Structure 1
Amino acid sequence: MRTAFFRLARADLLARPGQTALTAVAIFAAATALVVTLALRAGLDDPFADAMAETRGAHMAVYGELSDADVARLAALPGVVASDVRSRRNDQARLGGTTVEVGLETLPATNAPVDRPHVTEGRRPAAPGELLVERSFARETGLHVGDRFALGTVVGLAVTTEQATYPRWDPGLVWAPAVDAPGRRVGVRLQDPEATDAFAAAARRALPGTRLAFTDWHGVRDTITDQTRTNAIVIGINTLLALFAVGFTVATVISGRVLAQRREIGMLKAVGFTPRGVVALLVGEYLAIGLVAALLGLIAGAAIAPLLLEPMANVLATPTPSALRPLPLLLALVLVLAAVALFTAIPALRAGRVNTVDALALGRAGGSGHASRAARLAAALRLPTVARLGVKDAFTSRSRATLTIAALTFMVVTLVAALSVEATFHRVIDDPALRAKPWDVRVEAPQALAAVQDDADVAAATTVAGLQVTGPRGELEARVLGDGFQAFSYAVPDGRMFAKPGEAIAGRGLYDALGLDVGDRLTVQVSGRPVTLTLVGRHVEPDNDGEVLIFPAASLPEPVEAAAVIANFTPGSDQAAAARRIEGATGAQAELPEEEVRGERADIRPILFGSSLLLVAVGLVNLLATLLLVTRERARDFAIFKAVGLTPRGVLGVVNAGGAALGAIAIVVGIPLGLLIFRGVMTGMNPSEGTDVIGTPGPFALALCVPFVLAVTALASFVPGRTAARTSTATVLRAE
């Protein structure tokens, strides 16, 4: 019996090599897209945790002029399970015409127990004068492997969790084989990673009178997570859509081909096969195709994935994950084969239950003898005869047409999501207040206020400082603006911007965490002294889950040290040129929020376009498979049409019209669905910003989906259309 099964499956596959090859191509495309998708998803689960594990990141770092005995005391504190010490000093370096501060550290050993930088490009320094540069610092300052500057030659780039990405955290990190400096950095890993406050207190008790500075891993994590949350959500949306598209593709191609084999199933039943035997035969047949195609797809996916994983790692500030992880590859193979088996068994079981005589009689026509609703609609619209025939043929199998439309719809949804991402970035670029940065330039030099105000293109300038305040439920992050804050209006969708000392605005997360509403009063402790503020508005806040409080510095009983100077330029000024002048006048780096957002957009574009291109390819294969099956099933009808005068061009038009009908429905459904899905997922996954930052593509941008999808359908229709047009009428009718 097994031999008969094998021979029948082999004969069926070889009898239609074109259909077999197309099925294999569809499974190959699905497996490739699935591998890339799972690789991206694996990097999204907890990117900071992956970076911490890869670099053996410290839970707490202590900085100061420490002796060997001091280092030993810190390493011996309760709860410390590993430690590492390195020399460190801060230097000034001239990069890109600007003087920047550099944190130069001794390069740790490759097996260092704590904080070993993960090299992402180039190599580790091995000789004096060679440098390893932290990746975000290199990207911001334009450094590449091989470049030389005052401190030495860059031989490699690396990621670390010592601090968050530059310039949000500074100075920029650089490692050298040997650094002579009085300052030292001690990184420790704790048995309980949450016990950082207890460790800091113990360190101060162990080294009384020593000036110490601390970096807590929680602060690094929160900053990196806040910076990358939106990008991670965007990538997550795309990968989720890709998973759905892959499932629909496998379902459409396999189910459609099985349903097209009604006559063969009838013949198998006529010679004694039970419905269970028919299902077993077809499942085994398609699993054989699926196994070969899926293995090839795994290889292709593993080769393509790094092209998207590298830019994703740049966006998420993490080491580039490997595309050859066994678990995602094995999961992809299992999912593809399970989908093949499922979507073979269901239609095969349905077809196997059809009466043998009916199955033989249905033959290749397979379908209802009544015109579909789409065909009736085409007739009611008085479309040309060729278009009516195409619509009728496309909906010969309602289930297959539905699956194909669903797959094409997900392709449209992905395109709309990509357009929505572009629109969102455009909106944020045009209005930096949506990033809680309502200024044109920020200078990390609080003493430079007068120099900034003196620039001819500066319309207004003030200072900004960050500080920790104590609220009703613990520590809160706060920002205070100096005199002239009225020129720097945050985006406040609820309530209004503060107008005088004693008023404040806060992010959604703070309102939710403290159970407050706009108009309530909040008392916080600043340096041990109470400050009562009236909450007059909710501002859009992407950082710290929206748990941020902002108010005028004049609200405080004592002045605080400013962290930076912020300024707005006069309309129409050359912001880049003005920033360069300010850098020259102050000797400090000038940060343009607009350029930061443009950089994020440039980083995420390869991921969006790459994953979207994969889905377009999957949709193309899906539609091609559907139309080839339709052409095969309707071969007799096409022959009759040609016999009564339909030209080969007319036959090609019929097939094109069927594909266009499926694509048109996908466009009508996919565009509004894409807008709703993008908005819903962004709101659900990013409640601190929600719909406040979402941009909607304009009508012209959305209209571009129409020619694009129709071009895809025309391309998919070309091969089956030419096949139908070239088929010999006499041969087909004689076979009938």
Structure 2
Amino acid sequence: MRATWRWVHSDLRTHRGEALFAVLATAGVIASLLLSAALLGYAVSPWQRVFNESRGAHIWLQDHGGPDPAALAPLTSLDEVAAVSGPFRTAAATLESGGARAGTVLRAAGPRPPGTARPLLTAGRWPGEDDDAIVLERSLATALWADPGETVTVTLPGRGGPAGRALRVAGIAETAEPRYRPGRGGGVGWVPAAALDRLLAAAPGTPTGHALGLRLKDPDDTDYVVQRAVTLLGAGRVDQVTKWQQAKADFGGDDRLLGRLFAAFGLAALLAAALAAAGAVRARVRGQAGDIAVLKAIGFTPGQVVRGYLLRHLGLAAAGAGLGTAATLACGPLIPGRVGAAVALWPRMPGHRAAVLGLPAAAVLLIGAATALAAWRAGRVPPVPAARSALPAARPLSAAARRALGPGLAPVLVLGRRFAFTAPGRARALGATLRLALPVALMTVALTGWSTLGQFHTDPARMGRAAALTVRAENLRQTSDAALERTLEAVPGVADAVPGAELAALVPGQNGTLTLRGLGTAADPYPHTVVEGRAPAGPDEAVAGQGFLDLLGARVGEWVRLTVEGRPQILHVVGRSVEPDHGGRVVSTTLDTLRDGAPELRPGFHALVLRPGADPGEVAAGVAAATRDGAEVRPSADPADGPDAPRGVLAALVAVLALIGLVDLLALVGTGTRDRLRDLLALRAVGLTPRQAGGVVVTAAALTALAAAALGTAAGAALGHLIVDAEAAATGIGAGVARLPGPAVLAALVAAATAAGALSALPPAVRTARRRPTASPGETL
């Protein structure tokens, strides 16, 4: 064992540069994978992120026990409870802004946000103690079209009839509680305690209650704590119990497939890293064949050779994994932007410890497995140099290759193609090409996802965003709909102003809610993005999103029955449209169809389709000027701009795969140069110039990289189209949105891979050109 250690130590001292490169390459792969894991948790688990940042409550209890909150005190002393939020005095209210209404629960707030279940302000500020102001939960603010600085009318149901009072929106916040859904409640508004007192004084008789949040030591105790709480308070006093599982399902149920997609990317990247490491180890064994033969000749057993390689490469892999992990955990939070925020939050996310320990351990184990196979081959190296030197290094030139070596074609191209694809063996050349094509294919898939998200900006109509702006004109009710449409269409840059209305509908069985949307008329239809079937043209015809079809188990061509405001609505689904809103649970028909059942229905908004090249900001300003600020203009929501968009994860994946591909490429170039050295020296002896010999090395590497890049981009484009469409269908948007990267991007990827192959071959090409056309004993092994 001592001799093995001395050999390993001597080898590391002799090849310090290679050892350092191996450590840094492994550290880079591990760091990139850990950053991708952190971004994955940040992107696909928005509820968990908000819950951890706000120290959210696992259970929320709402009671109607009157003004004394002392009855809730026994709950705070339960052994399973780690912290409490509240109790907060509450009152049911209706909020109105710009004609939009939403029922919510007002919650009395202190001068500072609570420490547990703290609302996370995303805009504005927390109100002062005596302010007539309100902080709205984000989904509630979206439903009301309310921004900080605007006013909302708060109405409480008192005995003397509803009494309204205007409150200024001080801020908008995120919480880990269920989001607001029209017709299903949810959404919270925080008002100062003094402001709530004034509201209650203006509406005497308004029922009040208390809300109490319980943060548990163990989330698995949720059901048990709920039972104890109801028993202590009495079932007659508890109005509502909300558990964290409900909020999580409501918050991010559509991100599950996205999480699986990125997990598959991570595993594929880890596999590609293991293949690259295996190639590097095999190259190392072939390069040291002469040293191994000498060791065996002086008495080393095959077992000692195997142990030496295992110790060396496992030690380098462990050092690289440790360095990458430490650097990520220490420096990751300092990275600006979303990456740093994700790494800083990551320790509080589930699965953090498993990822920090599991990813480096898995990488080391995979490298160890690859090293074991290569080390076993090293143990079989014969101790007699002549036994290896007597073997031919490559097949003889074919007749076509010999003819091509004439004056009509440069020898560099002919020999470079031969060394890339035939020497020393076609199977080895094909394996190297496929191994290098794997990261290129995965990069193409990631770029396909990036291009698809980019369509929200470059081609919104294809993503169900034909209308760039939405106008609500509740303050212009005295103006006729036709006059308002003419006013809007007269604004420079507006191609069409399509009237629309949006209603909540119940599915058959009335156990679910979806969105029924009326857009346009038979004479002026809305340009739906239809990917299956056709657009609605007749009465009772509609197009539906994928989420709607999945919820009802329906298909294009079927009739569906809904309940809208207590009346039945029967529609014929003639097409499937791309619907990025409401998880695709949207069915769209014409206003004419909706007016058949409700003749008094007026448009609730107008969707503005802009002319090509029109700037939405300038058009919005033009609408405000034309209506004299009587209309409210909002841009259409863009999922690609949300805080949970996965583009950061995609960028990290591309960086990981590029690093893996570079490591594998360097190993392939080094191996190929050593395998072809005898042939190159023989060609030098028969007349090949030093520059031509170096050019052969560069040409062979460039052609290998070119073949791998072309194969990888073709396979990645086909696979990426399938994966992105599957993800879109599972999230309710619907298949048919995948967009491949442009030809220029794919060509740039192929060109970059080819250039990387040529550049990586320059150092060995220079060394080969400087060799004398005679083989040393080491070169025969």
Smaller-chain TM-score range? Answer: 0.7 to 0.9
Aligned equivalent of 1:568: 608
Aligned equivalent of 1:333: 360
Matches within 5 A, 1:216-615: 218=246, 221-222=249-250, 224-226=252-254, 239-302=266-329, 305-306=332-333, 311=338, 325-353=352-380, 355-357=382-384, 361-362=387-388, 368-370=393-395, 384-394=410-420, 395-396=423-424, 401-402=429-430, 404-429=432-457, 432=460, 434-443=462-471, 446=474, 450=479, 453=485, 454-455=487-488, 456-457=490-491, 458=494, 459-472=496-509, 474-481=511-518, 484=521, 486-543=524-581, 545-552=583-590, 554-555=593-594, 557-558=597-598, 564-569=604-609, 571-572=611-612, 573-583=614-624, 585-586=628-629, 589-593=632-636, 596=638, 599=641, 605-615=647-657
Question: Within the alignment, does 1:711 sit opposite 2:755 as a pair?
Answer: yes
Aligned equivalent of 2:34: 35
Q: 1:470 to 1:254 in 2, by over 3 A?
A: same
Between the aligned partners of 1:415 and 1:684, the Cα distance in structure 2 is 18
RMSD of aligned residue pairs (Cα, Å) = 5.6
Question: Within the alignment, does 1:698 sit opposite 2:713 as a pair?
Answer: no
Q: Is the 8 A contact 1:247 1:339 kept in 2?
A: yes
Q: 1:367 to 1:18 in 2, by over 3 A?
A: farther
SS of residue paired to 1:568: strand
Aligned equivalent of 2:100: none
Question: Within the alignment, does 1:186 sit opposite 2:211 as a pair?
Answer: yes
Between the aligned partners of 1:514 and 1:470, the Cα distance in structure 2 is 7
**Which letter does structure 1 place at the counterpart of 2:176?**
T
Encode CA deviations 1:676-699: one digit per residue, 9 max, x unaligned: 221222233332345311112333
Between the aligned partners of 2:70 and 2:462, the Cα distance in structure 1 is 44
Between the aligned partners of 1:386 and 1:327, the Cα distance in structure 2 is 51
Between the aligned partners of 1:601 and 1:83, the Cα distance in structure 2 is 26
Matches within 5 A, 1:65-84: 68-69=67-68, 84=86
Q: Is the 8 A contact 1:134 1:172 kept in 2?
A: yes
Post-superposition shift, 1:669?
0.8
SS of residue paired to 2:572: strand
SS of residue paired to 1:693: coil
Between the aligned partners of 1:260 and 1:492, the Cα distance in structure 2 is 59
Q: Is the 8 A contact 1:423 1:697 kept in 2?
A: yes
Moved more, 443-452 or 610-619: 443-452
Between the aligned partners of 1:493 and 1:322, the Cα distance in structure 2 is 42
Q: Is the 8 A contact 1:659 1:717 kept in 2?
A: yes
Between the aligned partners of 1:376 and 1:69, the Cα distance in structure 2 is 96
Post-superposition shift, 1:345?
1.0
Q: Is the 8 A contact 1:655 1:721 kept in 2?
A: yes
Aligned equivalent of 2:47: 48
Q: Is the 8 A contact 1:404 1:623 kept in 2?
A: no
Q: Is the 8 A contact 2:40 2:649 kept in 1?
A: no
SS of residue paired to 1:517: coil
Between the aligned partners of 1:713 and 1:35, the Cα distance in structure 2 is 27
Between the aligned partners of 1:578 and 1:15, the Cα distance in structure 2 is 69
Aligned equivalent of 1:100: none
Post-superposition shift, 1:205?
7.7
Post-superposition shift, 1:306?
4.9
Q: Is the 8 A contact 1:63 1:213 kept in 2?
A: yes
Q: 1:634 to 1:229 in 2, by over 3 A?
A: same
SS of residue paired to 2:196: coil
Q: 1:60 to 1:44 in 2, by over 3 A?
A: same
Encode CA deviations 1:525-560: one digit per residue, 9 max, x unaligned: 334433322222222234555443333454374479
**Which letter does structure 1 place at the counterpart of 2:698?**
N
Between the aligned partners of 1:472 and 1:371, the Cα distance in structure 2 is 77
**Which letter does structure 1 place at the counterpart of 2:623?**
I
**Which letter does structure 1 place at the counterpart of 2:86?**
D
- Structure 2 unmatched runs, 5+: 98-105, 149-166, 200-208, 215-220
Q: 1:480 to 1:251 in 2, by over 3 A?
A: same
- Structure 1 unmatched runs, 5+: 94-102, 144-149
**Which letter does structure 1 place at the counterpart of 2:394?**
G
Encode CA deviations 1:161-188: one digit per residue, 9 max, x unaligned: 346599xx99999989987434798365
**Which letter does structure 2 place at the counterpart of 1:611?**
L
Q: Is the 8 A contact 1:308 1:610 kept in 2?
A: no
Between the aligned partners of 1:377 and 1:178, the Cα distance in structure 2 is 93
Between the aligned partners of 1:581 and 1:267, the Cα distance in structure 2 is 84
**Which letter does structure 1 place at the counterpart of 2:211?**
V
Alignment coverage as a number of residue pairs: 706
Aligned equivalent of 1:658: 700
**Which letter does structure 1 place at the counterpart of 2:471?**
V
Aligned equivalent of 2:152: none
Between the aligned partners of 2:210 and 2:632, the Cα distance in structure 1 is 25
Between the aligned partners of 1:602 and 1:44, the Cα distance in structure 2 is 5
**Which letter does structure 2 place at the counterpart of 1:522?**
V
Q: 1:677 to 1:560 in 2, by over 3 A?
A: farther
**Which letter does structure 2 place at the counterpart of 1:484?**
T
Post-superposition shift, 1:127?
10
Post-superposition shift, 1:670?
0.8
**Which letter does structure 2 place at the counterpart of 1:599?**
D
Between the aligned partners of 1:117 and 1:176, the Cα distance in structure 2 is 12
**TM-score, with length taken from structure 1:** 0.77
Between the aligned partners of 2:589 and 2:235, the Cα distance in structure 1 is 32
**Which letter does structure 2 place at the counterpart of 1:411?**
P
Aligned equivalent of 1:97: none
Between the aligned partners of 1:165 and 1:729, the Cα distance in structure 2 is 79
Aligned equivalent of 2:109: 106
**TM-score, with length taken from structure 2:** 0.73
SS of residue paired to 1:696: coil
**Which letter does structure 2 place at the counterpart of 1:281?**
G
Q: 1:195 to 1:536 in 2, by over 3 A?
A: farther
Between the aligned partners of 1:417 and 1:18, the Cα distance in structure 2 is 34
Q: 1:260 to 1:360 in 2, by over 3 A?
A: farther
Encode CA deviations 1:281-331: one digit per residue, 9 max, x unaligned: 211121122222222222344467558895379999x96667994432222
Between the aligned partners of 1:474 and 1:104, the Cα distance in structure 2 is 29
Q: Is the 8 A contact 1:466 1:563 kept in 2?
A: no
Q: Is the 8 A contact 1:266 1:360 kept in 2?
A: no
SS of residue paired to 1:725: helix
Q: 1:17 to 1:59 in 2, by over 3 A?
A: closer
Post-superposition shift, 1:706?
2.5
Matches within 5 A, 1:622-661: 622-661=664-703
Post-superposition shift, 1:252?
1.7
Q: 1:220 to 1:632 in 2, by over 3 A?
A: closer
